[in-house]
Structure 1
Amino acid sequence: MQIMSSLSGAARRTSSPVLPVPTRGVLRRLVDALASGRSGLVVLALAIGAGAGGGAIVFRWLITSFTHLFSGHADYSDAGHAANPHLSALGIWFVLLTPVVAGLIYGPLVYKFAPEARGHGVPEVMYAVARNSGRIAPQVAVVKSLASALCIGSGGSVGREGPIVQIGSALGSTLGRVVGAGEDRMRLLVACGAAGGIAATFNAPLAGVFFAMELILTSFAAEGFGMIVLSSVTASVIGRAAFGNAPFLTLPPFHAAHVSQLALFAVLGIGAGIVGVAFSKILYAIEDACDWAWRWPEWARPAVGGLLLGVVLLVLPQMYGVGYPVLENAVAGKYAIGFLLVLLIGKVVATSLTIGIGGSGGVFAPSLFMGAMAGSAFGLAAQDLFGTGAGPVGSYALVGMGAVFAGAARAPITAVVILFELTGEYSIILPLMAAIVLATLTSKAITGDTIYTLKLRRRGVDLSAPAPASPFAGITVAEVMEPVPAALTATTSLSQAADALAVSRHGALPVTDADGSFLGVATARAVAEVLSEGGHDTEPVGEVLFVPKPVHADNDLAGALAELVGATPSGLPVLDETGTCLSGWITHQAVLAAVHRGPA
């Protein structure tokens, strides 16, 4: 009884799962292989690609289902001022209500479970990779899927790319945390998820790869490139099995531009760069206006603001949802210049308002939409001035799509690749590259930020600046670790272990085998539970071990902290360079003492 009483206090200070020794050994080897081995990285990349592909299928199904539910059409943007057949008594006025109803659902959902799911998503992933060791809350994938699908399905004028990037990245981050991946590998797994999401939802595996490397990782390391390609290809295969092999847009054939037309495409590139920057500035100006005007609970903001969005949809139903059919009509030359400019301005306002009221969705598809409108209008004007020598209107629309995105996001490689994948025509490369490079240079000359980095800069985060110095900079685990507690052997009986644990400092002791190799940790709680459930006190303590994530003496303290956060209060064992024997013990108290002292 005295032993049990002594253990009960220590048991409250620690918790651990109880695993049989054989099972523990197999799981440990498997997790270690996934967390650090090269073959394990391949398995993780494939798994994340499969997960992102499956997530893209579910996400697109949700968008389709909610669009049918709220509008009664497969895509209301091309339906004109049509009534919802489910609510025919309301006529065309139903669009005033759909954003409100959806906002009442996703507003509280985002506010309570994942505030980072609000907005267009990519900046949050960029921040997680650059400043948060690739850590994204696992619930983001579910909340973002539902919130964005509800927003788009009810009329929100946003795209699919931001949500699917955040969904895939959350899957990658979650899997990395499950296997205990290090910081560098976590960042790579997040990028794999982003690439897989883009590849599957847009049937664009190359664009997925370059989007992840140009915008998320901002590097082109060889190993990272290979893993991202694996993830992107896997997701694309799964996406094509569900959606078919056709591109996500149906576009007319593109004909090679004559050399004399390159000057026109150059002018278009400069103009498109200005449009991209203007979109970025207006987006955040409207968001600021919404922030200034709103004085009530945040969870209600999407519903109340949905009334304003409904007014825009009532005037311009072409702004409903992503609007790909309207984009395709513009590329096909079905609209006049005046109406194209109205659609361009309408998309800027509708997308900015959707984000400003707290909606959830991407800005990639809206930038393509704006590029198609601007490019088509430019092409029609060029035909009026130069006749048939200016070339087809569709070619200007296609180049405008890539150029406006490049002007807004300043991701020229991604812009070139995705337009090439859309058309499958190599002849697009020369005018496309010329316009995109000029759009990028124009954007850079006007502003130092992109549509993604500006959101972070407004929060005081500058991704181009060095990361803030860690208070643990220059400190290694060896400098702060405590001496190894008196270890138990695997054959120590539970009664003997209970006596030792009752007087131990942290309610936990390391367990080694006969040659001193580290096996795991025995905690007061685990031993107390076994004894209280009728276990024999002569049973070996090796039957109740758990294996925490170990660290090594030469590790930076900043890196070890990420593992310590998820550890039990007893701390973590510190292993020697061989990875088998104990050289110390690191605890939360040791880290706090290091913060107080600072680097030596």
Structure 2
Amino acid sequence: MDQKSYHVKKSKRVIGVLVAAALTGVFSALIADTLKVITEHYEESLLEKIHENPYLIFVLPLIGITTIHMLRRFLFRNKANKGIKEVLDTINKNGNTLPAYKVPSHYFNGFLTVIFGGSTGIEVSTVVATASVGALSSRKVNYLKKYRTDLVCSGLAAGVTALFNAPVAGFLFAFEVFTKRKSKLHTASVITAVLVSYILTRYFFFKQIFNFNVSVWNSYALPYFVLLGIIAGFNAVYLTKSVLFFKRFFGSLNNDLTKILAGSLLISTLVFFFPSLYGEGYAGINHLIKLTPETAMATILSLLLILIFKPLATSITLGAGGDGGVFAPSLFIGAFLGLIVCTVLNHFFGLNLIAVNFMVIGMAAVLSGSIHAPFTAIFLVCAIADNYMLFVPILIASLVSKLVAHFLFPYTVYTYKAPALEKVH
């Protein structure tokens, strides 16, 4: 083959990969955006019914987890969803791939988990589903098999972009968590998918999740941002260890009926006493934004209890068979933690700190500590806030949180591997 023919063939392959990445971005955006829209709609609808009849909560998680178990047993090959680990295995182990059924499996299981009160979010379900789109596209054309990792990362990056309208965070998530590959084609394919996903989402599905009013931050608060980062690191490890413990605990239960009943009853009880734990919890964060300093201090014990119980509710949801991960719980925990720290400092030390700033910074800090991906957390939360005013304090708190979390426990729920004797059967 002469040099000219070689370059022509190489150019065609590059174009083919980029076209596949663009198509992956389209389908990933559609999956993420439609899942987000229908989940929000039905979650809000069922929450209204619970406000009318609080005892309904003792039925909903049972319906959700039972339905997921039935789908898994009779429709999705009786295989448990392992979340992000499935994607990591696909990237790191050449023999593994994400089968096509993972798209509907995670799509419907994530939807059912959240709308029926499971205390998690659809982010991880979306990431695995969209990564599966990338894996599927790499199998449709023979020479694309060589570029499977590029297309899988393109899919998951596009999924995160669509969920949060955060293209930089989607791009960074692929590189911080999944692969350090630095080839030009890999970077170009991820960027292509992210841009396509961003454009589709921005013009057809965009909706601001939170209504933060961030306008200024004070340099005298820097030491307290560091303090928030340290506490966030501890909270992130608490969340990680809770998830690992309850997954191991429920995995040791051989009877599915026992697992379903125990898990749904525990979730129902926690949500009955603390309704903010229902589903993604984004409504709870928006409620926090409206609290006055006096109201926040008057309800500080309740806020603390929610902060303590959220990791437990999330862990029980995932252990009992729900589909989801730690993205939404980390944002929820961070918002509550930020408000609590700010309220306590203001009340006892008269510091006049800005509560909404601490909420936003706390969200990024806990997420950073939970997934060990500080730059993903920084740009994702800035996109959520639709404001880069807090970039510097978010950067400081997120890096501190990640360092503290890694020092305390050098694993995330994605990277931890149980010893052989502890593995879930």
| 2:213 aligned residue | 252
Task: Give how far 1:297 is off.
Answer: 3.8
Give structure 1 stretches of 5+ with no counterpart. Answer: 1-31, 84-90, 461-600
Change (3 A) 1:227 1:264: same
Structure 1 residue identity aligned to 2:239? F
Whether the 8 Å contact between 1:157 and 1:366 is mirrored in structure 2 is yes
Question: Which among 315, 340, 344 is matched to residue 352 of structure 1?
Answer: 315
Structure 2 residue identity aligned to 1:287? K
Task: Give how far 1:202 is off.
Answer: 1.5
After TM superposition, the structure 1 = structure 2 runs for residues 93-108 of structure 1, keeping only pairs within 5 Å, are 93-108=55-70
Question: Which among 407, 411, 418 is matched to residue 445 of structure 1?
Answer: 407
After TM superposition, the structure 1 = structure 2 runs for residues 453-492 of structure 1, keeping only pairs within 5 Å, are 453-454=415-416, 457-458=417-418
Task: Give how far 1:385 is off.
Answer: 3.2
Question: Which among 102, 115, 130 is matched to residue 153 of structure 1?
Answer: 115
Indicate the structure with greater helix content: 2
| 2:423 aligned residue | none
Tell me the SS of whatever aligns to 2:249: helix
Whether the 8 Å contact between 1:406 and 1:412 is mirrored in structure 2 is yes
After TM superposition, the structure 1 = structure 2 runs for residues 79-118 of structure 1, keeping only pairs within 5 Å, are 82-83=51-52, 91-112=53-74, 113=76, 118=81
| 1:178 aligned residue | 140
Whether the 8 Å contact between 1:45 and 1:228 is mirrored in structure 2 is yes
| 1:207 aligned residue | 169
| 2:353 aligned residue | 391
The question of 1:236 aligning with 2:194 is answered no
Structure 1 residue identity aligned to 2:224? L
The question of 1:365 aligning with 2:334 is answered no
Higher RCO structure (Cα 8 Å, ≥6 apart): 2
Tell me the SS of whatever aligns to 1:157: coil
CA offset digits 1:7-38 (Å, max 9, x no partner): xxxxxxxxxxxxxxxxxxxxxxxxx9899700
Change (3 A) 1:332 1:184: farther
| 1:188 aligned residue | 150
| 1:295 aligned residue | 254
In 2, Cα distance between equivalents of 1:323 and 1:393:
19
In 2, Cα distance between equivalents of 1:116 and 1:214:
28
Question: Which among 209, 222, 225 is matched to residue 265 of structure 1?
Answer: 225
In 2, Cα distance between equivalents of 1:50 and 1:178:
16
| 1:311 aligned residue | 269
Task: Give how far 1:81 is off.
Answer: 5.8
Question: Which among 29, 37, 44 is matched to residue 20 of structure 2?
Answer: 44
The question of 1:56 aligning with 2:40 is answered no
| 1:377 aligned residue | 340
In 2, Cα distance between equivalents of 1:303 and 1:174:
36
Task: Give how far 1:326 is off.
Answer: 0.5
| 1:285 aligned residue | 245
Whether the 8 Å contact between 1:33 and 1:39 is mirrored in structure 2 is no
Task: Give how far 1:314 is off.
Answer: 1.5
Task: Give how far 1:134 is off.
Answer: 6.4
Structure 1 residue identity aligned to 2:324? G
In 2, Cα distance between equivalents of 1:432 and 1:261:
12
In 2, Cα distance between equivalents of 1:429 and 1:60:
26
Whether the 8 Å contact between 2:162 and 2:198 is mirrored in structure 1 is yes
Structure 2 residue identity aligned to 1:157? S
In 1, Cα distance between equivalents of 2:78 and 2:339:
38
CA offset digits 1:43-70 (Å, max 9, x no partner): 01110000001111331244245436xx
In 1, Cα distance between equivalents of 2:33 and 2:187:
24
Tell me the SS of whatever aligns to 1:249: coil
After TM superposition, the structure 1 = structure 2 runs for residues 393-412 of structure 1, keeping only pairs within 5 Å, are 393-412=355-374
Task: Give how far 1:430 is off.
Answer: 1.4
In 1, Cα distance between equivalents of 2:179 and 2:370:
18
CA offset digits 1:107-137 (Å, max 9, x no partner): 1212341556635x22221121111456201
In 1, Cα distance between equivalents of 2:286 and 2:377:
18
Change (3 A) 1:384 1:65: closer
- Which has the greater radius of gyration? 1
| 1:131 aligned residue | 93
| 1:503 aligned residue | none
Question: Which among 302, 317, 326 is matched to residue 339 of structure 1?
Answer: 302
Whether the 8 Å contact between 2:382 and 2:388 is mirrored in structure 1 is yes
| 1:492 aligned residue | none
Change (3 A) 1:229 1:95: same
Task: Give how far 1:416 is off.
Answer: 1.1
Whether the 8 Å contact between 2:116 and 2:279 is mirrored in structure 1 is yes
Whether the 8 Å contact between 1:34 and 1:41 is mirrored in structure 2 is no
Whether the 8 Å contact between 1:172 and 1:190 is mirrored in structure 2 is yes
In 2, Cα distance between equivalents of 1:65 and 1:331:
21
Tell me the SS of whatever aligns to 1:445: helix
Task: Give how far 1:239 is off.
Answer: 1.8
Change (3 A) 1:57 1:430: closer
Q: TM-score scaled by structure 1?
A: 0.64
Deviates more, 1:54-63 or 1:231-240: 54-63
| 1:198 aligned residue | 160
Structure 2 residue identity aligned to 1:321? G
Question: Which among 153, 162, 169 is matched to residue 124 of structure 2?
Answer: 162
Structure 2 residue identity aligned to 1:314? F
Task: Give how far 1:395 is off.
Answer: 0.8
Change (3 A) 1:238 1:134: farther
Whether the 8 Å contact between 2:214 and 2:389 is mirrored in structure 1 is no
Change (3 A) 1:157 1:390: same
Whether the 8 Å contact between 2:242 and 2:315 is mirrored in structure 1 is yes
The question of 1:422 aligning with 2:380 is answered no
Whether the 8 Å contact between 2:139 and 2:145 is mirrored in structure 1 is no
